[in-house]
Structure 1
Amino acid sequence: MKSICSEHLLVYMMNFWSGSLLVFYLLKLGLVLAGTRVDEENLHAFLFSGYNKEIRPGMNRSIPLPLDIISYLYSLNDFDLNKGKLSLTAIFLLTWVDERLSWNPAAFNDTNNISISQKKIWIPNLVNINPYDDVTELRTDASAVRVFSSGYCVWLALQTFKVICKADVTKYPFDTQTCAMRFYVWGYAPAEVKSKCLPPVADEFVYYSENGVWDIIDSSSYIQLDFHKYEIINFEFVLKRRAPYYIVSLILPIASVSFLMGFVFLLPVESGERVGFSTTSLLSVIVYLTIIQEMLPESSEPNISTLGYILVTYVVTGSFVVIEVIISLWIQSRPSQSPVPKSLSRLMTCSLKKRNKISEDTLDTKEEECDNLIDEVTWPDVLRMYDKACFILTNIVFCVSSFIYFCIVLS
């Protein structure tokens, strides 16, 4: 009984995969092999005499075999949003009892635990059921199983998986993604093997190497039943994109270029730079739009990126700015002596500043002064008012669209 308790304690202290740490803990608990090589050879011969690895452990077949699973994330290798492919490496600690692998330590010179190749004994067939490419099972030739005299088996496996993870890029580049590795204990019904996800005995990210693009803000492991009542073992991760790089290299440049569009109307028409300035700004926004489209997945489920909508808004606004610049050049080219249409003159005289110039002595006087102002309106006056209106309108569109975007992505 004391030996079994020590073995369970060892399992909850084996939150490592390095061989040197394994030796350290074994020495600390006094569970290091005490026998000779001959004793271990005799033990192997004793254990595998008549052993059939195709048959699952468990003397009473009416009771499912308890299988405990602990998962540690080791590294996040790559996340391709366009393909919806997540590549990651994880460490799995699986424990179960195989009564056929039990022995009396005293009969083998106090040898109470040995390491056995996974090829020689029964191990749970853990199969990934959401693979991106080929179906992958948790089996690596380099792995071995630590077996104790009570038949208690501890399997520590390290493996890389490529799984499907559908990306939601609505809030890109401030997005958060939820991805999971899903497994079946293939070939066994819940009545034969009963899985249980245990919490890590130490920090679940103790082995994790930080990724340059993604932060892992949460993780969980749980078991759910499919429609056939088979167990699905889930290891779920919540990833949050590191946004500072995208803010500096993408958001700020495109916002700056778009903000400059309205200032084209402050350039003197006589300089001849308005058309060049507006078209260059428009092309810059289009280039950024192309870059964004290459980075985002083609799928529109559940929604396309809000940033895409904003960039399209900037492109449309830039197109209207080019048209407005052409109209301003047409107004500038009109002869000063050419009469301004009455409707346009009246629209200008109805502005607040024009009204302030009108005397408010009597209504008749006011109407008379309005008629005089209409006759005095020239094309340079129209151009000044036109440039001012276009400048204000363009900047309002930019500020409103940018405000809406940040409200959505930061909510």
Structure 2
Amino acid sequence: MRRYGQLHQSGRILLLGMLRLNSAATALLAAILIASSCQCSLITDEQRILSALMSNYLPSTPPTMNRSKPIVVEVSFRLNQIIDLDERNQILTTNVFIEQKWNDTKLSWDSDAATKDTKLRISADKVWLPDTYVFNNADSRKSGFLRSVYVLLQPDGQVSWPVPDKLRTTCQVNIANFPFDYQKCRIRLGSWVHSRRQLVFLPRTMDGIDEMDYTDNSEWQLLSAKPFVRNRQLSFTGHLPKRLDKTGNQYVEPNRNYSDLVIELIIRRRSFFYVWNIILPCVMLSVLTLFTFRVPPDNCEKISMGLSVFLAFSMFMLLVAEQVPATSESVPLIGLYITVLMSMTTVSVIFSVCIVNLNHRGSKFRPPPRLLKRIFVDWLGRLLRVADSVEKAARQFEVV
């Protein structure tokens, strides 16, 4: 009986343990089923919406039913960084983020409380996209059309197309005031085939572009960046397309108007580098040019000093020529300054040669004419306040 009681008690303990283990497993299984059912219900809603939207949707058709009104594309332009401005090739490199939004009535759905905040992310090649083209594209590795992978859909039919990109665009550089110059560069976006009657680009705001994440450039300072809309007219000079008017008659449309969005960037060069490394040394060399006239006339180092200064100016001229584009439209301000200094140095070397030559001739030749003596000794000597020194030298060499 005692042994039977022990076995009965052990069986009760084992049964209670199995019941507890079964309860824990049941609770865990229920939690897994609840979580999976919630996740499956969310995925099912997205799949249901996508399958309903894409059942009869064609990406090649316009997103609006009313063909009489153009499709309005709102563009938000964010400038992240001005990477470089190549003055010689006149190419501006920027890091930008372009977001385009438009309404597609075919991609709207009735949202309930569970799906009112749902945003669908689908592949960009499955929906209609504007043929946005960068008209002043200078990157030979890209076609100029904006490309991205995904678009975002909202229940009201709004489509958002974010495009991060690195743009290389042409920029006409004006070097007249180099290195204290301002440059005006433009990035021009527009449709490649759709006219203004079919597609219109508008900026999100006319106050300016988004500069929240802008990173300063070490050489260029951004002064302003504003978007504006420009109408572009394309004239057909060859085969003109024929269209039908309201009465059914054919007519030729000689011109087409296109809507372009232009982002104008005004930047200023940071000139401290050029002032410190080019302008200040040139000023010091110009002072040395003046001191060549203080060298005694019987010293031939007078000419060597002038030639050394001239060669130094030539080196700085080569440095400036490497920075600016090879153009004949304008001469940079610093180049004109160095050219004037080189001209002054050339004149000083010529006068130094004449002075050394006259000094070595001495009194072996006849005295100068009275008119020449009156100009250089009387008038010019008094103007430069060296008349007494000239008279003394003239008496010494018996020129007078």
1:206 match: secondary structure = coil
Counterpart amino acid of residue 73 in structure 1? L
Give the corresponding residue for 2:356: 329
Give the corresponding residue for 1:16: none
1:345: Cα distance to partner? 3.6
Counterpart amino acid of residue 355 in structure 2? S
Q: Percent identity?
A: 22
Give the corresponding residue for 1:192: 198
CA RMSD of the aligned region, Å?
Answer: 2.8
CA distance, structure 2, for counterparts of residue 326 and residue 377 of structure 1 = 23
Residue 232 of structure 2 is aligned to residue 226 of structure 1: yes
Deviations 1:366-398 (A, max 9, x none): xxxxxxx7996445999xxxxxxxxxxxxxxxx
Give 1:316's match in structure 2, choosing from 343, 366, 373: 343
1:188 match: secondary structure = coil
Gaps of 5+ in 2: 1-38, 234-255, 384-390
1:339: Cα distance to partner? 5.3
CA separation of 1:232/1:348 partners in 2, compared to 1, >3 Å: closer, same or farther? closer
Deviations 1:192-213 (A, max 9, x none): 2222112279972112111111
Deviations 1:296-337 (A, max 9, x none): 111223x22122222222222211111111111112212357
**1:87–1:163 Cα contact (<8 Å) kept:** yes
Give the corresponding residue for 2:312: 284
1:155: Cα distance to partner? 2.0
Counterpart amino acid of residue 263 in structure 1? F
**1:258–1:285 Cα contact (<8 Å) kept:** no
Residue 277 of structure 2 is aligned to residue 249 of structure 1: yes
CA distance, structure 1, for counterparts of residue 315 and residue 381 of structure 2 = 41
Give 1:99's match in structure 2, choosing from 105, 115, 120: 105
Give the corresponding residue for 1:393: none
Deviations 1:5-45 (A, max 9, x none): xxxxxxxxxxxxxxxxxxxxxxxxxxxx9962232222222
CA distance, structure 2, for counterparts of residue 72 and residue 35 of structure 1 = 37
CA distance, structure 2, for counterparts of residue 347 and residue 207 of structure 1 = 69
Give the corresponding residue for 1:147: 153
**2:108–2:154 Cα contact (<8 Å) kept:** yes
Alignment of 1:155-174 (within 5 A): 155-174=161-180
**1:34–1:109 Cα contact (<8 Å) kept:** no
248-257 or 102-111: which moved more? Answer: 102-111
Residue 223 of structure 2 is aligned to residue 217 of structure 1: yes
CA distance, structure 1, for counterparts of residue 167 and residue 337 of structure 2 = 36
Give 1:83's match in structure 2, choosing from 73, 78, 89: 89
2:96 match: secondary structure = strand
CA distance, structure 2, for counterparts of residue 145 and residue 252 of structure 1 = 55
CA separation of 1:47/1:253 partners in 2, compared to 1, >3 Å: closer, same or farther? same
CA distance, structure 2, for counterparts of residue 57 and residue 111 of structure 1 = 22
Residue 153 of structure 2 is aligned to residue 126 of structure 1: no
CA separation of 1:275/1:353 partners in 2, compared to 1, >3 Å: closer, same or farther? closer
CA separation of 1:49/1:351 partners in 2, compared to 1, >3 Å: closer, same or farther? same
Alignment of 1:11-410 (within 5 A): 36-106=42-112, 112-134=118-140, 135-141=143-149, 144-199=150-205, 204-227=210-233, 228-301=256-329, 303-335=330-362, 340-343=367-370, 344-351=372-379, 377-379=395-397
CA distance, structure 1, for counterparts of residue 110 and residue 303 of structure 2 = 92
Deviations 1:75-116 (A, max 9, x none): 111111111111112111211111111112239755632222
1:62: Cα distance to partner? 1.2
TM-score, structure 2 length as denominator? 0.75
Give the corresponding residue for 2:8: none
Counterpart amino acid of residue 104 in structure 1? D
| Pair member with larger Rg | 2
CA distance, structure 2, for counterparts of residue 333 and residue 272 of structure 1 = 11
**1:74–1:89 Cα contact (<8 Å) kept:** yes
Deviations 1:183-241 (A, max 9, x none): 12222121122221122799721121111111110111111111231112101100110
**1:189–1:230 Cα contact (<8 Å) kept:** yes
CA distance, structure 1, for counterparts of residue 109 and residue 40 of structure 2 = 15
**1:35–1:111 Cα contact (<8 Å) kept:** no
1:319 match: secondary structure = helix
Counterpart amino acid of residue 345 in structure 2? G
Counterpart amino acid of residue 50 in structure 2? H
Give the corresponding residue for 1:9: none
103-112 or 288-297: which moved more? Answer: 103-112
CA separation of 1:352/1:112 partners in 2, compared to 1, >3 Å: closer, same or farther? closer
Gaps of 5+ in 1: 1-32, 356-372, 383-411
Counterpart amino acid of residue 168 in structure 1? N
Give the corresponding residue for 1:363: none
1:333 match: secondary structure = helix
CA distance, structure 2, for counterparts of residue 349 and residue 42 of structure 1 = 105
CA separation of 1:353/1:314 partners in 2, compared to 1, >3 Å: closer, same or farther? closer
CA separation of 1:55/1:317 partners in 2, compared to 1, >3 Å: closer, same or farther? same
Counterpart amino acid of residue 106 in structure 1? D
CA distance, structure 2, for counterparts of residue 223 and residue 150 of structure 1 = 27
CA distance, structure 2, for counterparts of residue 207 and residue 334 of structure 1 = 74
